[in-house]
């Protein structure tokens, strides 16, 4: 007999959690350890306990609900933090679908030999110290510098944000000292792209997740008077950056189609109307589903920037601040998901994930897999983010079936 989740109950949970952290400017702002997040954590723990699960939390604030069994646990989860003015489906859907699956398992006393755990990982969105603080702690991949100083975030130090919570920098580092044994990890997530929606397919089975590099870079030239320095004598740092932004995009589009490069943030110094920019600081991120291409892109973009700097009388400096490797989802997980889709009569599409997810970090520890459901119009990280309950029902039923297979 095929077991089914209760979509009414799951949708009520998603709506309830989506009321915590509503931003007056629209959408939901619930970064980890904010007041809204602390409220959401209490709410989630109460739901897990209500479902009869054993609730625990580690020093990094990762929250677990467990149904006992023997041996290594099969885990399911995602995150409940959001970006500023994000939506109510990114992350929360995966955690609450996991909770709903475990609720059905307990209610119907479905057989499982291994323990089942639902987990909400801290700060997947990286508003504190760079992406994936919680899952990096859980898999033993934290370093003190990352936690204390943060790598991609410019803002108050973590220790300050943690004041008024039960967590400290030390408790987070402590949480990262183990590498627990996990049988498998599954994550249901909205696609955040438009492929499933465009093709009208309710479920996506992710076969690989892109890796990325984050660099902070600068072109350095010389400040000079905008009214008196002839164009040919300028060492204009901004023109170096402009040249690089265009050429790098053309290069990736023609040489590594499918991989991506983005200049996301730019600061010019001194940043004045009448002064030729002396320095252009910028963030450079690039992504690829292939580790080999990622390494090639790193070399090629560096050579290109240095070449542009030479031509324009500038210097160029660049530093990696974060890196994740591409992940291929193991055949064992793909096979189970495909077979269960067939049994459920659910049409599916196999597709890659361009966005990073906790599953990528978990894959360093265990077999990890992902189920996508369509994002209407591909919209995410926005108050307009949405999903269709009918798609979620199909995705969550698949999640339940796969969990039971893995925990049999």
Stretch that binds Zn ion, among 87-95, 115-123, 199-207, 244-252 (CB under 5 A): 87-95
* Residue 398 Cβ vs Zn ion, minimum distance, rounded to whole Å: 18
Nearer to Zn ion, 110 or 327 (CB): 327
Contacts of 89 (CB under 8 A, 6+ apart): 14, 190, 375, 380, 385, 386, 387
Residue with the CB atom nearest Zn ion in the bound state: 91
Using CB under 5 A, pick the residue from 13, 37, 90, 187 that binds Zn ion.
Answer: 90
The answer to whether 116 and 77 are in contact (CB under 8 A) is: no
Please work out the total of residues on this chain that contact Zn ion, with binding judged by CB under 5 A: 2
Long-range CB pairs of 42-50 (<8 Å, 24+ gap) are: 43/16, 43/17, 44/17, 44/80, 44/95, 44/99, 44/120, 47/13, 47/99, 48/99, 48/118
* Residue 87 Cβ vs Zn ion, minimum distance, rounded to whole Å: 10
Stretch that binds Zn ion, among 8-16, 82-90, 155-163, 322-330 (CB under 5 A): 82-90
Nearer to Zn ion, 38 or 355 (CB): 355
* Residue 76 Cβ vs Zn ion, minimum distance, rounded to whole Å: 14
Task: Show the tokens assigned to 238.
Answer: 């901004």
The answer to whether 221 and 314 are in contact (CB under 8 A) is: yes
* Residue 226 Cβ vs Zn ion, minimum distance, rounded to whole Å: 44
3-class state of residue 308 by DSSP: helix
Nearer to Zn ion, 105 or 387 (CB): 387
Say whether the peptide bond before residue 69 is cis (omega within 30 degrees of 0).
no
Nearer to Zn ion, 90 or 123 (CB): 90
* Residue 17 Cβ vs Zn ion, minimum distance, rounded to whole Å: 14
Phi, psi of 382 (to 5 degrees): -160, 150
* Residue 125 Cβ vs Zn ion, minimum distance, rounded to whole Å: 7
The Cα–Cα gap between 170 and 183 comes to 28
Stretch that binds Zn ion, among 68-76, 86-94, 344-352, 398-406 (CB under 5 A): 86-94
Nearer to Zn ion, 115 or 126 (CB): 126
Nearer to Zn ion, 13 or 243 (CB): 13
The Cα–Cα gap between 99 and 51 comes to 8
For residue 323, how many other CB atoms are within 10 A of its CB? 12
Using CB under 5 A, pick the residue from 18, 31, 59, 91 that binds Zn ion.
Answer: 91
Binding residues (CB under 5 A) for Zn ion: these are 90-91
């Amino acid at each position: 007999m095929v077991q089914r989740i209760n979509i009414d109950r799951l949708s009520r949970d998603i709506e309830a959690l989506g009321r915590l952290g509503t931003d007056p400017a629209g959408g939901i702002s619930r970064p980890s350890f904010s007041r809204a997040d602390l409220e959401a954590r209490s709410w989630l723990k109460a739901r897990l306990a209500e479902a009869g699960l054993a609730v625990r939390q580690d020093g990094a604030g990762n929250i677990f609900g467990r149904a006992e069994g023997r041996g290594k646990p099969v885990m399911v989860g995602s995150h409940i933090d959001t970006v500023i003015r994000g939506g109510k489906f990114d992350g929360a859907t995966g955690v609450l679908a996991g909770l709903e699956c475990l609720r059905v398992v307990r209610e119907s006393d479905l057989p499982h030999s291994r323990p089942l755990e639902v987990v909400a990982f801290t700060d997947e969105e990286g508003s504190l110290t760079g992406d994936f603080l919680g899952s990096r702690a859980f898999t033993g991949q934290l370093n003190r510098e990352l936690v204390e100083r943060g790598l991609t975030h410019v803002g108050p130090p973590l220790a300050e944000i943690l004041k008024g919570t039960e967590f400290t920098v030390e408790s987070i580092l402590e949480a990262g000292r183990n590498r627990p044994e996990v049988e498998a990890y599954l994550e249901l997530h909205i696609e955040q792209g438009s492929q499933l929606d465009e093709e009208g397919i309710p479920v996506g089975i992710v076969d690989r997740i892109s890796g990325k590099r984050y660099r902070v870079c600068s072109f350095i030239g010389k400040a000079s008077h905008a009214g008196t320095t002839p164009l040919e004598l300028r060492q204009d740092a901004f023109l170096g950056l402009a040249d690089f932004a265009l050429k790098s995009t053309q290069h990736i589009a023609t040489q590594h189609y499918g991989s991506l490069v983005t200049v996301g943030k730019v600061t010019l110094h001194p940043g004045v109307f009448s002064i030729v920019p002396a320095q252009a600081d910028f963030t450079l991120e690039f992504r690829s589903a292939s580790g080999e291409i990622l390494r090639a892109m790193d070399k090629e973009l560096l050579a290109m920037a240095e070449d542009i700097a030479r031509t324009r009388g500038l210097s160029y400096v660049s530093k990696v601040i974060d890196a994740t490797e591409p992940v291929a989802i193991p055949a064992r997980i793909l096979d189970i998901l495909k077979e269960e889709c067939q049994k459920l009569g659910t049409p599916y599409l196999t597709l890659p994930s361009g966005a990073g997810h906790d599953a990528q970090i978990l894959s360093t520890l265990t077999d990890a897999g992902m189920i996508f459901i369509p994002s209407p119009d591909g919209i995410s990280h926005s108050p307009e983010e949405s999903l269709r309950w009918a798609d979620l029902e199909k995705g969550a039923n698949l999640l339940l079936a796969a969990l039971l297979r893995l925990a049999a």
